[in-house]
């Protein structure tokens, strides 16, 4: 599944760049590939909610929490056990990640940066999910913050 997704994502990216200089209307092939990509997104959209992460942490489930914010943001408060690897450093620090089967939950302030990291890690074959609403969602759920 991950290999097919990697091929599909790579194909979509190449096609987007190839056809970006063409007319604004999508070619039938690009539209077909994008439709296929969107139709094959997992039902959970590769996201996880704060309470689900907290439950996994409390029950000792195999989970790795990845904070992709900048170090100053991390120092201002983070999810307990979270490891800080800023978004632009993730690919240079893959050796800090667990094996590919372990659930990696990426988060940032609101979930946008983490979504990019989640997708990149999935392309590499990791079991990664994005924390819905990031640290803001965590705080809104009144879950513990470590400083």
Evaluate whether residue 145 is within a structural domain.
Answer: no
Secondary structure, 3-state, the chain: CHHHHHHHHHHHHHHHHHHCCCCCCCCHHHHHHHHHHHHCCCCCCCEECHHHHHHHHHCCCCEEEEECCCHHHHHCCECCCCEECCHHHHHHHHHHCCCCCCEEEEECCCCHHHHHHHHHHHHCCCEEEEECCHHHHHHHCCCCCEC
Instruction: Say whether both 18 and 59 belong to one domain.
Output: no
Q: Which domain holds residue 13?
A: 2-39
**Residues 53 and 8 occupy one common structural domain:** no
77-127 pLDDT per residue, tens: 999 999 999 999 999 999 999 999 999 999 999 999 999 999 999 999 999
Task: Write down the pTM of the prediction.
Answer: 0.76
Query: Could you tell me if 91 and 136 lie in one domain?
Result: yes
Inside any domain, residue 147:
no
Question: What's the mean per-residue pLDDT of the chain?
Answer: 88
Read off the CATH number of the domain in which 121 is found: 3.40.250.10
Please report how many Cα atoms fall inside a 13 Å half-sphere around the Cα of residue 50, on the Cβ side: 20
- Verify that 69 and 131 share a domain, yes or no: yes
Are residues 53 and 23 both part of a single domain? no
Cβ-proximal residues to 137 (8 Å cutoff; 6+ apart), any chain: 49, 50, 111, 131
Distance of alpha carbon 18 from alpha carbon 29, whole angstroms: 12
Same domain, 14 and 63: no
**Confidence band (pLDDT; 50, 70, 90) for 35?**
confident
Contact 111/137 with Cβ under 8 angstroms?
A: yes
Pair (76, 122) in one structural domain: yes
Give the total number of structural domains in the chain.
Answer: 2
- Say yes or no: 62 and 87 in one domain: yes
**In which residue are the tokens 């991390």 written?**
74
User: Residue 67, Cβ neighbours under 10 Å: how many?
Assistant: 23
């Amino acid at each position: 599944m991950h290999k097919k997704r990697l091929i599909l994502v790579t194909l979509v990216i190449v096609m987007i760049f190839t056809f970006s200089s063409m007319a604004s209307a999508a070619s039938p092939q690009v539209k077909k590939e994008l439709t296929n990509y969107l139709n094959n997104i997992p039902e959970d959209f590769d996201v996880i909610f704060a309470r689900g992460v907290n439950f996994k942490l409390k029950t000792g489930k195999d989970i790795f929490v990845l904070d992709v914010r900048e170090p100053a943001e991390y120092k201002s408060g983070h999810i307990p056990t979270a490891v800080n690897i800023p978004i632009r450093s993730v690919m240079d620090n893959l050796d800090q990640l667990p094996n590919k089967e372990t659930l990696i939950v990426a988060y940032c302030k609101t979930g946008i940066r983490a979504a990019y990291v989640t997708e990149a890690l999935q392309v590499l074959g990791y079991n990664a999910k994005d924390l819905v609403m990031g640290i803001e969602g965590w705080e809104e759920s009144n879950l513990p913050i470590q400083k």
